[in-house]
Structure 1
Amino acid sequence: MSELGEYLRSRRAQVRPEDAGLVSTGTRRVPGLRREEVAWLAGLSVDYYVRLEQGRERSPSTSVLDALAAALRLDHDGHLHLFRLAGLAPRLESTRTPDRVDPALLRLMAAWPDNPALVYNRAYDVLDSNPLAEALFGGFGAEQNLMLLVFGEPRAREFYVDWQDIAENSVAGFRLNYVADPSDARVQAVLAELLNGSGEFRTLWERHEARGKSLKSKAFRHPSVGVLELTMQTFGVRSAPGQELVVYDAEPATPSADALKLLGSIAATAATQ
């Protein structure tokens, strides 16, 4: 089965018949939609759709992919991922993501004393962070890979209050990055380490979820200040394709805002010692 076929199979398993406007009858031997139901919803012959899933048909047209995206209820990221797998959307140019963060961006991050901010690459290696982000992530270290942290560091399950949601969204984002540039050596290395070292990662990877950052907030349990519920914004760094900037913020006048201020004070005190 091709990667395109695996993705189609995994997506139809996630769509309930009633969500697609179908009436479910009889005993269903598969989760989600049957192959013939996807074919009908997309206006394709069953034989053609079966060949797509089995990898015997590898050159679907854009109209076929659009129809499948609608039938499988794919969001924007899923739609783009489908086109990339079929070779009909440009993959990123195979160039190494810069390891160095632009000094101007570092100055901007340093000017946010109340907002943890960090920059990472396609492999989720943290390239740099401001003092408050370093204080937030604490013992994990500033130079760290966020994927390996989530799946390889036992303390991560305590640190991330909603670890399962974090894990699922991290894997989906990592797959989107992987397919965008499969030749990225660092992404390949991190993927190999995760597949060899974490059964939970392998299970999530086999779901073929692919989407960008979908979590709008995260809850952290910090050993010094307790639980912080922070909103997050993610930005692509235009001057360095492959880098992303993440900025966290706390809702004003909340316990999390107070905890973030306390964390900043602790970090500032530690910096003077």
Structure 2
Amino acid sequence: MSTTVDLDQQRGAPRDRRRAELREFLRSRRERLAPTEVGLPEAGRRRTPGLRREEVAVLAGVGVSWYTWLEQGRDIKVSDDVLDAVARALLLDEVERTHLYRLAGLNPPQRQAAPSVPASPQMRRLLDAWAPGPGYIRDRHWNFTAVNEAARLVFGYGETDHNCLVSYFTNARYRVLHQHWEEIAPAVAAGFRADAARYPDDPEFDRIAEDLAQVSAEFAELWARHDAAEHSTAVKAVDHPEAGLLVFDATLFPVPEHPGHHLILHNPRPGTGTTQRLERLLRSQPGGGTPTTN
């Protein structure tokens, strides 16, 4: 269903600044386009560069007066359907379309998640460079696409660990190492449900949850609560049998070129001695802890 916002309901300086930004943005996008780029014939010499307002209106299927008022930042009602039409007419890319929504006072549409893809060489180098800090990349279904050696050593990930959620509830070694497993488990399940709600037409979330509930009664109980939560940071404490207590600040970063994918980096918490213990742990491994990702 289309959503609508009345621009004259917005008050004060922020409203005026947004209108000015909207006016300049639309004008600049219009002026950068040649008629031939949008399928229009050349119409002789033009006094101003780019498309005319009436041409944008025709391409978007809206009234000339309405588009003129929009570009002028006038008090008019705008809808997401019409903004999408204007975005198509002006050949806006996804970032520009989102910017247009914000300037018009509407929430940007949810970006479509990219299919799971292997981590790029650049991202793998980033994970390797993050050592001795643990790090990994997961896709929208929480499948691992890359895990650095520090994460494998610290969290006990093995060759059978392919999904972050599944590993949390089924990897016995991870559970033993994690100091606050039971307290954090509800937030983990709630985070997966919140991510699933972003993609209601994707049945893979239900499949993962149903399969996991069959083998983990604890997850089944938590999943039945229908709790949802979003977290971009967390504290993880690991009681490692070789290194001792390791405490990390974990931060989740979206991967812009692959919507739905996230980079999770763990930074040793200052004052806990984690950095020194972690470095000793990596040095004690065959090869001296040479970074690898897979």
TM, length-normalised to structure 1 = 0.60
Q: Conserved in 1, the CA contact under 8 Å of 2:150 and 2:282?
A: yes
Query: What amino acid is aligned across from residue 221 of structure 1 in structure 2?
Result: D
Q: Conserved in 1, the CA contact under 8 Å of 2:232 and 2:251?
A: no
Shift of residue 159 of structure 1? 1.6
Aligned partner of 2:117 in structure 1 is 99
Q: Conserved in 2, the CA contact under 8 Å of 1:127 and 1:143?
A: no
Tell me whether 1:181 sits opposite 2:199 in the alignment: yes
Describe the shift of the 1:184–1:223 C-alpha distance in structure 2 as closer, same or farther (beyond 3 A): farther
SS in 1 for 2:214: helix
Shift of residue 261 of structure 1? 1.3
Describe the shift of the 1:211–1:152 C-alpha distance in structure 2 as closer, same or farther (beyond 3 A): same
SS in 1 for 2:133: coil
Query: What amino acid is aligned across from residue 132 of structure 1 in structure 2?
Result: A
Q: Conserved in 1, the CA contact under 8 Å of 2:247 and 2:272?
A: no
Q: Conserved in 2, the CA contact under 8 Å of 1:118 and 1:127?
A: yes
Aligned partner of 2:238 in structure 1 is 220
Aligned partner of 2:261 in structure 1 is 243
SS in 1 for 2:156: helix
- 1:147 aligned to which of 145, 152, 165: 165
Tell me whether 1:123 sits opposite 2:141 in the alignment: yes
Shift of residue 172 of structure 1? 0.9
Shift of residue 142 of structure 1? 7.8
- 1:264 aligned to which of 271, 282, 294: 282
Computed over aligned residues only, the root mean square deviation of the Cα atoms, in angstroms, reads: 2.5
SS in 2 for 1:249: strand
- 1:135 aligned to which of 149, 153, 157: 153
- Runs (4 or more) in structure 1 with deviation over 4 Å come to 88-92
Describe the shift of the 1:207–1:184 C-alpha distance in structure 2 as closer, same or farther (beyond 3 A): same
Matched residues in 1 for 2:148 and 2:238: separation? 17
- 1:200 aligned to which of 202, 214, 218: 218
SS in 2 for 1:115: coil
Structure 1 residue runs of 5 or longer lacking an equivalent are 1-87
Describe the shift of the 1:117–1:149 C-alpha distance in structure 2 as closer, same or farther (beyond 3 A): same
Query: What amino acid is aligned across from residue 224 of structure 1 in structure 2?
Result: E
Query: What amino acid is aligned across from residue 137 of structure 1 in structure 2?
Result: F
Matched residues in 1 for 2:272 and 2:284: separation? 19
Shift of residue 230 of structure 1? 0.7
Q: Which range moved further: 199-208 or 135-144?
A: 135-144
Q: Conserved in 1, the CA contact under 8 Å of 2:156 and 2:174?
A: no
Q: Conserved in 2, the CA contact under 8 Å of 1:124 and 1:145?
A: yes
Shift of residue 128 of structure 1? 0.3
Q: Which range moved further: 220-229 or 206-215?
A: 206-215
Describe the shift of the 1:154–1:116 C-alpha distance in structure 2 as closer, same or farther (beyond 3 A): closer
Shift of residue 195 of structure 1? 2.3
Tell me whether 1:111 sits opposite 2:129 in the alignment: yes
Describe the shift of the 1:96–1:215 C-alpha distance in structure 2 as closer, same or farther (beyond 3 A): closer
